[in-house]
Amino acid sequence: MADSKARLTRLAGRTLARVIGHVSRTSDIVYDPSDLMERLAAAHPCTVACWHGQFMMLCMLRPPGARVSAMVARHGDAELIGEAMRAFDVELIRGAGAGDRKKDRGGAAALRGSVRALTQGSSVVMTADVPPGPARKAGIGIIMIAQLSGRPIAPVAAATSRMASLDTWSRITVNLPYSKLAFAGGEIIHVPRDADAATLEELRQKLEHELNDAMARAYALAGADIERATPLDMLAWRTPPAPGRMLKIYAKGLSALRPLTPVLLNYRARRGKEDASRRGERLGKPVRPRPEGQLVWVHAASVGETNVALPVIEAMLSRNPNLHVMLTTGTTTSAALAAKRLPDRAFHQFAPLDAGPYVASFLDHWRPDLAIFTESEIWPNLILATSERQIPLTLINARMSPRSMKRWRKYARLGRPLFSRFALILAQNERVARVLRFLGAPRVETTGNLKIDAPAPPVDAAQLAALKEAIGTRHVWLAASTHAGEEQQVAAAHTLLRDKLPDVLTIIVPRHPDRAEAIAAEIAALGIKVERRSQTQSPSRDCQIFLADTIGELGTFYALCPIAFIGGSLVPRGGQNPIEAIKHGAVVLSGPHTHNFHDAYAALAEANGVITITSSGTLAEAVARMHANAPDMAAARSGAEEALSNLSGAMQKTLDALTPYLDPARTPA
């Protein structure tokens, strides 16, 4: 199998080499400047730099008799390029820079190999920008190669009048035969061996400028449209693209389904997911007037996103006494939380369904001055209609799961008309920021996770005291924000714990309280005595599992329990926020599925501030060990607090970035 793949790669590489030769032989070749080949010969050996995706014809830009090496990555696709280069007697240097990724792609070895080739008399051809982008941004590695070798950099570009281009991160261009083939070169760049960091950065920027200028001249000389070779994300940064076919089908489909809206809302109301008395809000028909002055609209999905938004809302209101804030969400649980915790000059509305007429009615009434979306709330019609009204769109605490990142990259043509309309996006980490830039967002900053800076969820002191009195000296632990499939594992862990801690009380706070009746029935069927918070305020002496199925009390239960398992992590849901538990002094246990809070859990693991469990058995063992070993519990708390201190700062960065959009002098449109 491996031999067959290798033979196929060799065949494809040789075919590519023949295509390159055919393009060169059948094309009318021009140079800018006209003595470009002589300049390259004079600079030899040098680093010949080009932009990624624009390298197909550069093997033909070779002074007579010059030895040439090329840096080629180690991944499978690069094997084809490597085979083509061998056909032109180009030596290969394997490896590439890692860019913003931590994965080793052989960059150090490639740097050493490039310096060695240059000092031994071979020019080195390499791309200045590093996968996976951003495109057209030179990496520092190419500058360091020039510094270490003492050999210059020659920026070059090639273009043909006939070409095809692919929607890759670098917009790979395939040059076609029977063209006008233009080669352009920029100013030769020398990097002093004693250059300091500031000088290296200045020269890196100069390389970018020279490459962009050379590329523009090559395409102009060839008579080709440079936008066809420009990465689509860069085009989207300049001008948001119009919605494509899929978005148009989405918009028309939702409008066509409007007659079914009452059926949908009735069904959701029967399941406790809609407030029937406020149905008009879902149809874009608010019942309250718009407040005078500046109105900021903050949109969140549910309880988790609302907890992120609330501190931001409070901070914005404290900075501007004339500001009003409207928070929209889509769930009854988040509406209940908003009713309890929204400050003065802030109010809650249910978000309109994402159908054109409902969205238009909503925006016509409220006319917000600024829209702030949270985390991953992307509703196409809502975004497009807001943008059409010239309302600045921002997205804070932006996050994506690994699966979502792959999906958005695959369907970038769907995402670019949406993400390019955000004036500002604040991402939780650089991985997410990189994807958002690829999707056309013009301004993306990495600010960290707001949940780390958010205050601990509130504690009802009277209720806490009552619960402590009811529990007495019993061993107690918490399973918080559990999802379907986890409560059974928690119940199994409880059964195992009773062998070591006969008096143990397990408290479960489900992520979705509307599941409480079904959860209680499942636990009772196991022969475990279960009581519900909504039916009895405190657990009785013989209660084994207490099901906290109320809203807004998670802070109280974190303060009550010294140990907290954070749900959504024993099942593949990506985990829930561990920060709230840590801020109340609880030792955190978690399953392996934590990608929704990757950075937080990675920092906690490095500081030994989280205990990872994989089953009901390991969950029971961890709870029993923590209850029996006070030093271990103290060490876990200390590690968690250390990790949080290193991750903080997102709130201040977010508020600073939003400040230009919160000018008190602004008035409603």
CB 479 within 8 A of CB 623: no
Q: Which residues contact 412 (CB under 8 A, 6 or more apart)?
A: 167, 232, 233, 438, 439, 440
Q: Which residues are the active-site residues?
A: 305
- Rounded to 5 degrees, φ, ψ at 663 are -65, 120
Distance from C-alpha of 139 to C-alpha of 49, rounded to nearest angstrom: 11
Exposed/middle/buried for residue 1 (C-beta within 10 Å: 0-12, 13-18, 19+):
exposed
CB 487 within 8 A of CB 512: no
Specify the 3-state DSSP secondary structure of 181: strand
- Per DSSP, what are the bridge partners of residue 156? 185
Question: Is-cis flag, bond preceding 240, omega within 30?
Answer: no
- Rounded to 5 degrees, φ, ψ at 419 are -70, -25
CB 378 within 8 A of CB 302: no
Distance from C-alpha of 334 to C-alpha of 332, rounded to nearest angstrom: 5
Per-residue burial over 171-195, b = 16 or more CB atoms within 10 Å of its CB, e = otherwise: bbbebbbebbbbbbbbbebebeeeb
Spell out, as residue ranges, where the chain has pLDDT lower than 70. Answer: 1-2, 74-78, 96-106, 664-669
In sequence order, what DSSP letters do the residues of 324-365 get, joined into one string? EEEEEESSHHHHHHHHHH--TTEEEEEPPPSSHHHHHHHHHH
Question: CATH 3.40.50.11720 occupies which residues in the chain?
Answer: 245-448
Helix H or strand E encompassing 296: strand 295-299
CB 87 within 8 A of CB 120: no
- Per DSSP, what are the bridge partners of residue 398? 427
The residue whose two tokens read 């908003």 is: 338
Check residue 551 and give its pLDDT.
Answer: 84
Q: Tell me the pTM.
A: 0.78
Question: CATH 3.40.50.2000 occupies which residues in the chain?
Answer: 461-648
Check residue 667 and give its pLDDT.
Answer: 41
Q: Which fold has domain 461-648?
A: Rossmann fold (3.40.50)
Closest CA to 226 of 176, 183, 171: 171
The type of residue at 415 is G
Helix H or strand E encompassing 318: helix 303-319
Q: What is the pLDDT of residues 304-347, one digit of tens each?
A: 899 899 999 999 999 999 999 999 999 998 999 999 999 999 99
Check residue 288 and give its pLDDT.
Answer: 93
- Per DSSP, what are the bridge partners of residue 344? none
> Could you say which of 3.40.50.620, 3.40.50.11720, 3.30.1300.10, 3.40.50.10490 is the CATH number of the domain covering 245-448?
3.40.50.11720
Distance from C-alpha of 237 to C-alpha of 227, rounded to nearest angstrom: 13
Quote helix, strand, coil % in the chain, to nearest 5: 45, 15, 35
Check residue 10 and give its pLDDT.
Answer: 80
CB 40 within 8 A of CB 214: no
In sequence order, what DSSP letters do the residues of 420-431 get, joined into one string? TT-SEEEESSHH
Exposed/middle/buried for residue 537 (C-beta within 10 Å: 0-12, 13-18, 19+):
exposed
CB 606 within 8 A of CB 583: no
Check residue 648 and give its pLDDT.
Answer: 86
Q: Which residues contact 629 (CB under 8 A, 6 or more apart)?
A: none
> What Cα–Cα distance (Å) separates residue 203 from each residue in 36, 143, 144, 263, 276?
21, 7, 10, 63, 63
Distance from C-alpha of 408 to C-alpha of 138, rounded to nearest angstrom: 25
Check residue 35 and give its pLDDT.
Answer: 96
Helix H or strand E encompassing 589: strand 587-590
The residue whose two tokens read 């999802």 is: 483
